[in-house]
Amino acid sequence: MRVLFQDFLSNRGLFFDQLDMAAKNAADMATLLVAIVNTEQADERSILFKQVEKMEHYGDSITHKIYLALDRIVFTPLNRNDIHALAAAIDDVADIIKEGSNRINLYNIIDFNRPMKDLAILIQKACAEIQKSVNLLKVHHRADVIITACRQVKAYERQADRTYYNAVADLFLNDKDPINLIKYREILQSLETTVNKCKNTADVLEIILINR
């Protein structure tokens, strides 16, 4: 019995630590994205692009470790499906941050408009709330803080929707270069989708609280 209890505590730390690492990695990637859209020097942006790609691969490795652990460990600190869903949701956030960064790089964007910068900030804020919430999962009696954080993420998502649609409308109204319009619209879409993925992660966190 003591061995089983020790195994449970060890497994508890393993899953929570890996989820913490994944959430922090996504939050750090969001911070890099903010730096990208606020950096004027092309050589500095090039370094940031490479860092984002490296961190996305790191996030993939964390997700893979969580999936492997789910396959071999019997006793998990949360519902097995919930752990899988949360790991996948955080990984989706990291993936789409990388997609936005890649599009900025491939399209050689050097002029970042206000909606792009605003959306990047919303991504950073939403990821920070997710990181805080994931970290608190291992702490009992903090559900109220997690719920408040999830609601804040959803508020950011609604704000991102408004920013995106207003920005696209402005592009169609004022940008006469069709290629430029397509480039900016796709980048804006990637940024807005990232906040949507953050909202999906918040949904998973709320389900975890219900299932505990």
The reply to whether the predicted model has a pTM over 0.85 is yes
Q: Where are the domains of the chain?
A: 2-211
Which stretches does DSSP call E strand in the chain? none
Q: Is the pLDDT of residue 3 over 50?
A: no
Question: pLDDT tens across 121-152, in order?
Answer: 999 999 999 999 999 998 877 899 999 999 99
Question: pLDDT tens across 28-81, in order?
Answer: 999 999 999 999 899 999 999 999 999 999 999 999 999 999 998 878 889 999
Angle (CA) 134-21-43 rounded to 5° is 120
Helical axes 178-211 vs 80-106, angle rounded to 10°: 170
User: What 8-state DSSP symbol labels residue 18?
Assistant: H
Q: Which fold has domain 2-211?
A: Methane Monooxygenase Hydroxylase; Chain G, domain 1 (1.20.58)
Report the Cα–Cα distance between both ends of the chain, in Å, rounded. 23
Distance between CA atoms of 175 and 206, rounded to whole angstroms? 41
